[in-house]
Amino acid sequence: MSSTISPTDTPPTGVAATRPAERTRAKNGIAWGRIAAWAAMILLLFVSLFPFFWMLRTALASNADLVKGSQSLAPPGATTFNLKQVLGLASEAEIAKAGTATSTEINFFVALRNSVIICTLITLGQVVFCSMAAYAFARLRFPGRDKIFFLYLTAMMIPPIFTLIPNFVLIKNLGWLNTFPGIVAPFFLMTPFAVFFLRQFFLGISREVEEAAVLDGASRWKIFRQIIIPMSAAPLTTLAVLTYITAWNEYMWPLVAGDSENVRPLTVALNAFKSATPALAPPWAPLMAGTFLAALPIIVLFVFMARRMVDAIGFSGIK
Amino acid sequence: MATTAGVGRKALSRREAPKRRSAWLRPETRTAWLFLLPSFIGFMVFYAIPAVRGIYLSFTDWDLLKQSGAWVGIDNYKAMFQDALFWNALGQTFKYVVINIGIQTVLALAIAVLMHRLTRSVVVRGILVLPWLIPNVVLALLWMWMLDPNLGVVNHWLTAVGFSEQGFLGSESQVIPTLAGINIWRHMGYTALLLFAGLVMIPQTYYEAAALDGAGEWRMFRTITLPLLRPVLALVLVVTIVGSFQIFDTVQIATGGFGGQPGGPGNASRVLYLYIFQQAFEFNALGYAAALSVALIVLLLAVAAIQLRLLRAGESDLA
- Indicate whether A267 and A207 sit together in one domain: yes
Q: How far apart are CA B264 and CA B144, in angstroms?
A: 14
What's the Rg (C-alpha) of chain A? 27
Q: List, for residues B294-312, the tens digit of each pLDDT value.
A: 999 999 999 988 888 887 6
Element (H, E) at B133: helix B122-133
Please indicate, yes or no, whether residues A140 and A171 belong to a single structural domain of this protein.
yes
Residues A88 and A145 in one domain: no
Alpha-carbon gap: B136 to the closest alpha carbon of chain A (Å): 7
End-to-end CA separation in angstroms for chain A: 22
In chain B, how many domains are there?
Answer: 1
In a domain, A252, yes or no: yes
Which residues in chain A (274-313) have CB-CB distances under 8 A to chain B? 274-275, 277-279, 282, 284, 287-288, 290-291, 294-295, 298-299, 302, 306-307, 309-310, 313
Task: Please determine, for residue B49, whether its predicted confidence score (pLDDT) is greater than 60.
Answer: yes
pLDDT at A319: 38
Residue B309 contacts residue B282 (beta carbons within 8 Å): no
Q: What is the rounded distance in angstroms from the CA atom of residue B80 to the CA atom of residue A69?
A: 46
pLDDT band at A29 (very low <50, low <70, confident <90, very high): low
* Residue B63 located in a structural domain: no
Whether A15 and B153 lie within 8 Å, measured CB to CB: no
Q: Are residues A140 and A34 in the same domain?
A: no
- Is any Cβ of chain B less than 8 angstroms from the Cβ of A174? no
Domain count within chain A: 2
CA distance A49 to A44: 9
Q: Rg of the Cα trace of chain B?
A: 26
> What is the distance between the terminal CA atoms of chain B, rounded to a whole angstrom?
47
pLDDT of residue A148: 93
Residue B119, strand partner residues = none
ipTM rounded to 2 decimals = 0.85
* pLDDT of A314: 66
Q: Which of B150, B308, B269 is nearest to A157 (CA)?
A: B308
Q: Is residue B22 part of a domain?
A: no
pLDDT score for B133 = 92
Inform me whether the pLDDT recorded for A16 exceeds 70. Answer: no
Asked whether residue A153 falls in the same domain as residue A178, the answer is yes
Indicate yes or no: CB of B145 within 8 angstroms of CB of A287. yes
Higher pLDDT, B27 or B106: B106
- The CA distance from A235 to A239, in Å, is 6
From its phi and psi, is residue A179 left (phi > 0), alpha (psi between -120 and 50) or beta? beta
Alpha-carbon span B241 to A287, nearest angstrom: 32
Q: Has residue B15 been placed in a domain?
A: no
Q: What is the mean pLDDT of residues B115-127?
A: 88
pLDDT at A7 over 80: no
Looking at residue A205, its amino acid is I
**Domain of residue B93, CATH code:** 1.10.3720.10
Residues in chain A with CB shorter than 8 Å from the CB of B133 are: 245, 249, 298, 302
Single out the residue of A288, A240, A63, A102 nearest to residue B259, CA to CA.
Answer: A102
Average pLDDT of span B237-262: 89
Q: Which residues of A touch B9 (CB under 8 A)?
A: 217, 219
Q: Do A66 and A159 belong together in one domain?
A: no
Furthest C-alpha separation in chain A: 84
Segment B77-84 shows an average pLDDT of 92
Domain for residue A272, yes or no? yes
Examine residue A199 and state whether it is found in any structural domain, yes or no: yes
Identify which of B29, B137, B290 has the shortest CB distance to residue A143. Answer: B29
A251 at the B interface (CB within 8 A)? yes
Which residues of chain A neighbour B61 with C-beta distances below 8 Å? none
DSSP letters for chain A:
-GGG--GGGS-HHHHHHHHHHHHHHHHH---HHHHHHHHHHHHHHHHHHHHHHHHHHHHTS-HHHHHTT---SSPTT--SHHHHHHTT-S-HHHHHHHT---SS---HHHHHHHHHHHHHHHHHHHHHHHHHHHHHHHH---TTHHHHHHHHHHHHTS-HHHHHHHHHHHHHHTT-TTSHHHHHHHHHS--HHHHHHHHHHHHHS-HHHHHHHHHTT--HHHHIIIIIHHHTHHHHHHHHHHHHHHHHH--HHHHHH--STTT--HHHHHHHHHHTS-SSS--HHHHHHHHHHHHHHHHHHHHHHHHHHHHHHHHHHH-
Q: Is residue A125 part of a domain?
A: yes
pLDDT (0 to 100) of residue B314? 58
Q: Does one domain contain both A92 and A186? A: no
Q: Give me the CATH number covering residue A212.
A: 1.10.3720.10
Helix or strand (DSSP H, E) at B230: helix B226-244
Q: Which of B169, B161, B177 is nearest to B257 (CA)?
A: B169
How far B85 CA sits from the closest chain A CA (Å)?
18
Residues forming beta bridges with residue B63, ordered by sequence position = B68, B285
Distance of CA A189 to the CA centre of its chain: 19
Does residue A309 lie within any of the structural domains? no
* Domain containing residue A198: 108-276
Q: Give percent of chain A above pLDDT 90.
A: 45
B216 is a domain residue: yes
Distances (CA, A) of A173 to A166, A176, A177, B68, B281: 11, 8, 9, 12, 16
Cβ atoms of B212 and B76 within 8 Å: the answer is no
Cis peptide before B265 (omega within 30 of 0): yes
Q: How far is B151 from chain A (nearest CA, A)?
A: 6
Q: Which residues contact B19 (CB under 8 A, 6 or more apart)?
A: none
Q: For B126, which of A165, A195, A306 is closest by C-beta distance?
A: A306
Separation CA A22–CA A27 (nearest Å):
9
pLDDT, average across residues A166-177: 92
Chain A hits for B213, CB-CB cut-off 8 Å, are 7, 10, 14-15, 18
Q: What is the mean pLDDT of residues A66-87?
A: 84
Please report whether residue B39 resides in a domain: no
pLDDT of residue B21: 58
pLDDT of B46 higher than 70: yes
Among residues A276, A293, A313, which one ends one of the domains? A276
Check residue A74 and give its pLDDT. Answer: 83
B274 within some domain: yes
- Whether A182 and A176 have beta carbons less than 8 Å apart is answered as yes
* Residue B70, in any domain of the structure: no
Distance CA B22, CA A209 (A): 29
**Cβ proximity of A174 and A182 under 8 Å:** yes
Answer whether residue A262 is part of any domain. yes
Q: Which helix (H) or strand (E) holds B235?
A: helix B226-244
pLDDT of residue B15 exceeding 60, the answer is no
The residue among A22 and A3 whose pLDDT is bigger is: A22
C-beta contacts of B168-173 below 8 A and 24+ residues apart: B169/B143, B169/B144, B169/B254, B169/B255, B169/B257, B170/B257, B170/B265, B171/B265, B172/B265, B172/B266, B172/B268, B173/B268
Beta carbons within 10 angstroms of residue B163's beta carbon: 10
Say if residue A121 is in the same domain as residue A241.
Answer: yes
Could you say which of A143, A165, A275 has the minimum Cβ distance to residue B289?
A165
Question: How far, CA to CA in Å, does A117 sit from each of A88, A114, A181, B146?
Answer: 19, 5, 11, 32
Type of residue numbered B169: L
**Whether residue A217 sits in one domain with residue A186:** yes
User: Is residue B270 classed exposed, middle or buried when 0-12, 13-18 and 19+ CB atoms within 10 A define those classes?
Assistant: buried
Greater confidence (A90 vs B244) lies with: B244
Between B48 and B318, the higher pLDDT residue: B48
Diameter of chain B measured on Cα atoms: 85
pLDDT, tens only, B129-185:
999 999 999 999 999 999 988 888 999 999 889 888 888 888 888 999 999 999 999
Question: A74 and A172, same structural domain?
Answer: no
Of B35, B126, B156, the CB nearest to A132: B35
Q: What is the pLDDT of residues B52-68, one digit of tens each?
A: 999 999 999 988 888 78
Who contacts B163 (Cβ-Cβ below 8 Å, separation ≥6)? none
- CB spacing of B24 vs A2 below 8 angstroms: no
- What pLDDT is stored for residue A30 in this prediction? 74
Residue A306 is predicted with a pLDDT of 82
Query: What is the per-residue pLDDT for A316?
Result: 56
Confidence of residue B318 (pLDDT cuts 50, 70, 90): low
- Put simply, the answer to whether A143 touches B23 (Cβ < 8 Å) is yes
pLDDT in tens, A277-292: 887 778 888 999 999 9
CB-based contacts of A20: which residues, under 8 Å, 6+ apart? Answer: none
Which residues of chain A neighbour B93 with C-beta distances below 8 Å? none
Residue B109 pLDDT > 90, yes or no? yes
Q: Are residues A117 and A76 in the same domain?
A: no
Q: Tell me, what's the pLDDT at B316?
A: 60
Residue B107 belongs to what domain range?
85-311
One domain, residues A216 and A73: no
Please write the tens of the pLDDT for every residue from B191-225.
999 999 888 888 888 888 988 888 888 888 888 88
Q: Residue B220 falls within a domain, yes or no?
A: yes
Average pLDDT rounded to a whole number, residues B268-290: 93
Question: What is the Cα–Cα distance from A62 to A74, expressed in whole angstroms?
Answer: 11
Answer with the residue of higher pLDDT: B318 or A192. Answer: A192
pLDDT of residue B7: 44
How many interface pairs between A and B have CB atoms less than 8 angstroms apart? 342
